[in-house]
Structure 1
Amino acid sequence: MGKRWWTNDWLLQLSVAVGYGLLYLVIHPYSSSHWPIHAGVRLACLLLVPYRFWPALLLGEAVPNGYEAFQCLDSLGPTWVAIKSIPPFAVAMPIVWACRTWMPPLPAKNLVDIKALLVCGLLVSIGGMIYSTAAHAVELHPSTPFALISAVTFFLGPYLAILSVVPWVLMAKLDYREGHLREQIGQILSSRLFLDTVALLVPTFAVLTWMSVAGNDQVKQIAPLAMFLPMAWLTLKHGWRAAAVAGPLAIACISLEISIYDDFDTKTFAIQTFLAIGVSCLFALGARISVQLVQEEKERNSAVSVQRLARQSLQLSEQRMRQTSQALEYLAGTLHITNGRLLDQMRRIVPNIESHAFYKQAVATQNQVYRLAESMHPVAWRERGLPAALNETIARALDEAGIAYRCEINGRGFTRLAPAVLTATYRTACEAVVYVTSRLACTRVNLMLRGGETHGKRWVVLRVEGVLEETGVASAVYHSDERKRLGAKLGASMLDIPEMRDHVHIFDGLLHLRMPAGHLQITALLHDAMQEEQRPELRSAPPLRLWVK
């Protein structure tokens, strides 16, 4: 089997030369001295194409460039033709090579050094200015003031063209993923940057361009400058990509107007200068904002990871407590059986063994083990779910403490909530009950639980209200021992309000404390995080990193 053509180095070099030459010929009619698009294409190729293809690119530009220069031999002379026959590619090659060696604009994959990119563009534009100024000097022999303006013009045109083309090429190269073109197009069309560009930037630029053409002299001066307002707004919102989208559009609008009407004077020169400085500053500002946005996204992802880890730790701790509770219940049952057998045997030796201190101590130990197991993980919760635990476990503990209790549960979706959310709801209810009953004047506790679903996201609201009555202080003092044991019975950690708020925040929730007349209310909102964790992640391109020194 013979080699395929793209594996043959000579054919590949020839293809690159022919392709670049055709591209040069296609864009040449749209280029002008005020906006030479081929200058931006040239720098983009030098930045992205490997060194081994540079001779082919040089040949691809030398042939059409030399042909165009040779046509002016009779009118401009052999000296001008000799200078113009040198392809601008040859002038830019050593500059870009030096930049890629000592200050690379693309130091690594998905890493862009904006400072190096702007410096490289400036140096290439300066090299092109020297090249064009030398040819212009041979052509017309202008006076010194006019030569200075012409030299700056030869710098501004290529630099604006570089700012127009290179950012788009870089975005396409950095975002391209083989085999995912349709998905990428869908992401671009649905992105906020695209929507803001279509809805705000394009209509604004169209209106301002029309005003700069049809308006009076004052409007023609103000309209191009006003283009920076939407550009700056988009840059502040979206970072360097907004500057990469808006900058070329603004440059194209102004440059095409200059090319069509051939209206180049000192005012146009000032507008181009302001445009070059403004777009460069927006690039630097956008790069810095992009770095901040990436950092904020990392912090947000880190916070989400911490939340996910906290939820998992909470659920694992609850599972261990449940296993320990079951083990204690098994131990209490074993003690009950052992005590029963000992009682049967000792009845033959010691009469009235039930009144003996040893037997009472054994029974007390057994009951303590049962209570410990119940406080760690109630049987009602384990067997019949969260509503049973709220209606039975908390009610029994409050009744023993002499506090009235009413529980109201409504809504839907409790069975579909994640186990971690149910765990957090019960523990929050216990902590809130212990907190409100720490007031001696609390004589009654009302608990309300409501579940629901909004826009496909499930949630649960818990409200614990303690009724404060001064007449109940005497009863509270009478049941003070049971009130002190209330936290241990419910397995509460005696958290205060900030700690409870942090506990609820793990589930993207909120907690509020209100103290209306005669009441103490704690309201907590928790969201079900399982849906977000189970949502499939979109396959996206590696994040673009920006390096701004």
Structure 2
Amino acid sequence: MRGEWWKNGLQLNLRIEPIGLVLAVIYAFACWGARKLSLDQFYLPAGIRVAALLLCPPRLWPYLFLGEYAYFAQMRYPMIDKYGLTWVILASVSLMPTVAMIVRLHRRVVAATTQAWLLSVGAASAVAVTSLNLVLMHLLWPTPDVPLLTGAARYIVGDFIGILTVVPLALLWASRRTELTWTGRFLTPSIAALALMILTGMASVLIPAESATVKTSLQLLMALPAIALTCLLGWRGAAIAVPSLNLIIGLTTPKPYPLAFDPTTFTTQMVMAIASIALLLFGSRITHFYHHYRIRDDGEKNALKLARNSHIASEKSLRERALHLRKLGDGIEISLKEVVNWLKSQGHHEIASGLLNTATVHSQQFRTQASMVYPTALDQLGLYVALHAGGVRESWDQSNRVSRPRLEGDPCMLSTGLQLAAYRALIDAVSLLLEHEFGQVMVRARCGGRASQRGILVVVALLDSAQPLSDTTVALVNEHLAGLPLAYGGVVQCRRNRIRMLLVETPTHSSNRAAHCDSADSRTSDFGNSRALT
């Protein structure tokens, strides 16, 4: 019965994980080794405590508590006679739960904010731990020998610097799979900055103790490589530079006895603590805006890719429709020929001749319109042949306003999608000028490649250079013609009397179609040299 638990007793299931015991041992030894390298103003165990709580899941925190208590037991057991058993127990068991509660409260905002939350964790942990230590000292020590204000400043700065030395490296390690890979672009500046900081730190050690000003100046100079690394790499640069900066200064500080205090270096460390805060905030903002830029850039690239794919899918649909229309035309011609032959066999030669002439004219017009739905000649013979032999050329000739196109370069080096985009953009530009402008129209195109790009430059212009394009035409060009060139990384420009369109692609996006194109008369040229077309 639930109400009789006090009679039957309670059953507790205690599960001990071997990995937890190993974690406790590793944590205890890490704190012990870090304390050997620490000062009051540079206390590394505080950083190890926070880093362990951040890296380990909450289910393993009890083992961290166990490791902390084991570390304090071996360190403070000899202090019982001097400071009392009450202080040893309370001062040992209260620190880790306090910091764990602070980390637990910050875990809710870790995933939703930038890495600047680390400063809040560090400052809160340093203030809480220092406050507990000083309060217990003054309450439980027989004769407290640590001044309250001086000790608070020293311990808070020491814990905070220790946290900024260990935790950024731990977070950098934890995010190694989610961040970008460490390529030469990241390794080279990191190694260079670390080398400069180490050399400057070694030089400050060699300075005599009498030259404190020179030593301080050299220590402050180490901030310059740290700033440069933060500017280059953002949060990752700050996560490398700030711990390295604090570690070099802390390890090069004289240690006449364990947990010693050096007032000269303490001033420098306070300056570096402020600089570390600024670098972490600055690096965090750089990374934050870089991620937003990368997301937006990826979105733009995906949008352009979708636009290209949509255009290609639309062209495939038009191609199928054009082939179907051609089959229908062939079937109609065959049927008409059978009718004409039957009429001739019945002696109606005049009717048969008239029907044949009419059918020939309409068949030619039907094929012209079918070729304008989709230029099938472009698939095998390239863009230029499609412009010369297709129905578009006949439509231009009938207007008596379009001069013979000047086409240069080899379009077969371009992908089919890019050629189709150039084809649609070119005929749309000519149609706009024929509908909204007066006078003759000239068409020029140049295919070529430069560096890692291939493309085509198209110019559709009025023959009269003194006649500028109207505002209506310019507005229609920007509204209807900018889409396709933009999808292929190009631009559309209206300059005085002409429309200039550039469509480009990388060679990996273009297919090798030279074997399928009959372009013996074409000449490859550089599309970047556009003066000949303008």
Structure 1 length-normalised TM: 0.74
15, 28, 32: which is aligned to 2:22? Answer: 15
1:61 match:
68
Q: 1:509 deviation in Å?
A: 2.2
Q: 1:94 deviation in Å?
A: 2.4
Aligned residue identity for 2:176: D
31, 36, 56: which is aligned to 2:38? Answer: 31
1:506 equivalent to 2:510? Answer no
**What are the within-5 Å matches in structure 2 for residues 533-548 of structure 1?**
none
Cα distance change, pair 205–510 in 1 and its aligned pair in 2 (3 A): farther
Write the distance in 2 (CA, Å) between the matches of 1:471 and 1:55: 85
1:542 match:
none
Cα distance change, pair 226–324 in 1 and its aligned pair in 2 (3 A): same
1:78 equivalent to 2:72? Answer no
433, 439, 462: which is aligned to 2:457? Answer: 462
1:152 equivalent to 2:158? Answer no
Write the distance in 2 (CA, Å) between the matches of 1:470 and 1:69: 94
Aligned residue identity for 1:496: V
255, 263, 283: which is aligned to 2:280? Answer: 283
**What are the within-5 Å matches in structure 2 for residues 493-532 of structure 1?**
496-497=477-478, 499-515=480-496, 520=498, 522-528=500-506, 531=509
- CA offsets, 1:241-264, max 9 Å, x none? 222111112212332333458672
Write the distance in 1 (CA, Å) between the matches of 2:461 and 2:110: 64
Instruction: Report if aligned partners of 1:448, 1:462 keep a CA contact under 8 Å in 2.
Output: yes
Q: 1:48 deviation in Å?
A: 2.7
1:330 match:
327
Comparing 283-292 with 436-445, greater Cα deviation is found at 436-445
SS in 1 for 2:42: coil
SS in 2 for 1:276: helix
2:239 match:
244
407, 410, 416: which is aligned to 1:419? Answer: 416
Cα distance change, pair 290–151 in 1 and its aligned pair in 2 (3 A): same
1:303 match:
300
Write the distance in 2 (CA, Å) between the matches of 1:134 and 1:100: 22
SS in 2 for 1:461: strand
**What are the within-5 Å matches in structure 2 for residues 72-471 of structure 1?**
77-79=81-83, 83-84=87-88, 88=92, 90-104=93-107, 114=115, 116-134=117-135, 138=141, 141-142=144-145, 146-176=147-177, 187-188=181-182, 190=183, 192-200=185-193, 202-203=195-196, 206-207=199-200, 210=203, 214=207, 218-260=213-255, 264-265=262-263, 268-345=265-342, 352-353=350-351, 365-393=362-390, 395-402=393-400, 403-410=402-409, 415=412, 417-434=414-431, 439-442=437-440, 444-445=442-443, 447-452=444-449, 454=451, 457-464=452-459, 466=461, 468-469=463-464
Q: 1:226 deviation in Å?
A: 4.9
Write the distance in 2 (CA, Å) between the matches of 1:210 and 1:309: 57
Cα distance change, pair 529–83 in 1 and its aligned pair in 2 (3 A): farther
Q: 1:309 deviation in Å?
A: 1.0
Instruction: Report if aligned partners of 1:325, 1:372 keep a CA contact under 8 Å in 2.
Output: no
Instruction: Report if aligned partners of 1:95, 1:123 keep a CA contact under 8 Å in 2.
Output: no
Q: 1:315 deviation in Å?
A: 0.6
Instruction: Report if aligned partners of 1:417, 1:458 keep a CA contact under 8 Å in 2.
Output: no
Write the distance in 1 (CA, Å) between the matches of 2:361 and 2:393: 23
- CA offsets, 1:94-140, max 9 Å, x none? 223433544426756xx666455433322321232134435765486
Instruction: Report if aligned partners of 2:24, 2:66 keep a CA contact under 8 Å in 1.
Output: yes
Q: 1:221 deviation in Å?
A: 4.9
Cα distance change, pair 374–532 in 1 and its aligned pair in 2 (3 A): closer
Instruction: Report if aligned partners of 1:32, 1:259 keep a CA contact under 8 Å in 2.
Output: no
Structure 1 unmatched runs, 5+: 1-7, 178-183, 473-493, 534-549
SS in 2 for 1:451: strand
Write the distance in 2 (CA, Å) between the matches of 1:187 and 1:443: 54
Aligned residue identity for 2:384: P
- CA offsets, 1:414-438, max 9 Å, x none? 5464321221132233334445666
Q: 1:504 deviation in Å?
A: 0.9
Q: 1:312 deviation in Å?
A: 0.9
Cα distance change, pair 218–435 in 1 and its aligned pair in 2 (3 A): farther
Cα distance change, pair 432–13 in 1 and its aligned pair in 2 (3 A): closer
SS in 2 for 1:258: coil
**Identical residues among aligned pairs (%):** 22
- CA offsets, 1:446-481, max 9 Å, x none? x33323363xx4412223364725999xxxxxxxxx
- CA offsets, 1:276-331, max 9 Å, x none? 33323433343333222222211111111111111111011111111111122222
Aligned residue identity for 1:442: Q
Once superposed, which parts of structure 1, at least 4 consecutive aligned residues long, lie more than 6 Å away?
358-361
Cα distance change, pair 432–260 in 1 and its aligned pair in 2 (3 A): farther
How many pairs does the alignment contain? 479
- CA offsets, 1:172-192, max 9 Å, x none? 123259xxxxxx9x932x153
Aligned residue identity for 1:43: V
Q: 1:156 deviation in Å?
A: 1.0
Write the distance in 1 (CA, Å) between the matches of 2:330 and 2:427: 27
Instruction: Report if aligned partners of 2:38, 2:250 keep a CA contact under 8 Å in 1.
Output: no
Cα distance change, pair 54–526 in 1 and its aligned pair in 2 (3 A): closer
Cα distance change, pair 306–532 in 1 and its aligned pair in 2 (3 A): farther
Cα distance change, pair 443–241 in 1 and its aligned pair in 2 (3 A): closer
Instruction: Report if aligned partners of 2:41, 2:261 keep a CA contact under 8 Å in 1.
Output: no
Write the distance in 2 (CA, Å) between the matches of 1:432 and 1:390: 14
Write the distance in 2 (CA, Å) between the matches of 1:300 and 1:388: 37
Instruction: Report if aligned partners of 1:346, 1:353 keep a CA contact under 8 Å in 2.
Output: yes
Structure 2 length-normalised TM: 0.75
Cα distance change, pair 219–114 in 1 and its aligned pair in 2 (3 A): same
Write the distance in 1 (CA, Å) between the matches of 2:428 and 2:197: 57
Instruction: Report if aligned partners of 1:20, 1:57 keep a CA contact under 8 Å in 2.
Output: yes
Instruction: Report if aligned partners of 1:69, 1:81 keep a CA contact under 8 Å in 2.
Output: no
SS in 1 for 2:175: helix
